[in-house]
Amino acid sequence: MFENTLDNYAHSNNLTNLNPYFKILLGISTMIVSLVSTSPVIPIVIALFMSILIIFKAKISWNFYLKFFFIPFGFGLLTFFFMAVFFGVGSPILELGLFNLTVTVDGFNLGFLVFTRMLGGFTCLAFIALTTPMTELFSVLELVKIPKILLELAMLMYRYIFVLLDEAINMYHTQETRLGYSSLKKSIKSMGMLGSNLFIRTWLKGEQTYIAMESRCYDGSIKTLKKNEDIKDIGTRNLAGLILFEIILVLGVYFTGNYGVLIL
């Protein structure tokens, strides 16, 4: 339950050392194309392309990726059914024979479009999450002029998330071995104990961190050493490829227009 952070994968895949600006530019711009698409064709292409990149280029184990992909896929499918049944005003094409529920053409098309957009967007997000370590993301965020204080808070938080997760996992396992989660009432009590203890530990950690920082000449700003990767290091070939790819996708969006799966 705690182990599924993507951080391990972000630090050890075949694309880790690729220029972070390039990866993020690719992820975000493709995500936007998927979002503005008005037909399900291009989002499906994007989802396939990104999945291929993740499995074959970044060499993330497909076993893990499929498991990871299953959650949004299931949720998307649920949304699809929900929209197909409840969000139609046009002519019914299928009687469910239950509570007078019917599937309509426009509801079906809308549901399918949203479903594919979710898959397209999710694979782009997964691409960024699985290939780019957080530390590199911070340096990219610095470039787009995110306030410094926010970045410093985020960096400190990032560090402490893992410290606290370790403690939370330990506490959780100890409670579980003592049957702390055997019923709903016990679960609430155990989790409450866990939460409060964690908060107190957190507080102590915060105070100690301040002392440690102050003894190392902390003057209100945190200075870090950065890898000197530059946005210019993307390389013309990569950049040209990226632009060409996005142009093809945008053209695809333009030509597929409002094409739906069902036309009546």
Partner 1 sequence: MHIMEGFLPWQWCLFWYLIAIPVVVYGITRIKKITDKNPETKPLLAVSGAFMFVLSSLKLPSVTGSCSHPTGNGLGAVLFGPAVASVLATIVLIFQAILLAHGGITTLGANIFSMGIVGPVAAWLVYKGIKKIGWGSSIGIFFAALLGDWLTYVTTATQLSLAFPIPTFGEAFIKFMVIFAYTQVPLAIVEGLLTVVIFEYIMQLRPDILRKLRVIGSEKAQDSPEKVLEVV
Q: Which of residues 19-78 bind partner 1 (CB under 8 A)?
A: 28, 31-32, 34-36, 43, 68, 72, 75-76
Q: How many helices (H) and strands (E) does the chain have?
A: 9, 2
Binding flag, residue 258, partner 1 (CB under 8 A): no
* Shortest CB 137 distance to partner 1, Å: 7
Looking at 12-20, 203-211, 225-233, 256-264, which segment touches partner 1 (CB under 8 A)? Answer: 203-211
Q: Hey, what are 154's tokens?
A: 């985020």
* Shortest CB 130 distance to partner 1, Å: 9
Answer whether 123's CB lies under 8 Å from 111's CB.
no
Query: Contact with partner 1 (CB under 8 A): which of 18, 42, 103, 114?
Result: 114
CA–CA distances in Å: residue 177 to residues 19, 78, 174, 209? 45, 35, 5, 32
Query: Contact with partner 1 (CB under 8 A): which of 198, 239, 242, 261?
Result: 198
Q: Which is nearer to partner 1, 86 or 235 (CB)?
A: 86
Binding flag, residue 192, partner 1 (CB under 8 A): yes
Query: In 3D, which of 77, 159, 179, 166 has the Cα closest to residue 118?
Result: 77
Binding flag, residue 117, partner 1 (CB under 8 A): yes
Query: In 3D, which of 253, 258, 250 has the Cα closest to residue 110?
Result: 258
Binding flag, residue 210, partner 1 (CB under 8 A): yes
Q: Which residue has the tokens 């497909």?
A: 62
Query: Contact with partner 1 (CB under 8 A): which of 20, 40, 120, 180?
Result: 120
Cβ-proximal residues to 28 (8 Å cutoff; 6+ apart), any chain: 124, 128
Binding flag, residue 150, partner 1 (CB under 8 A): yes
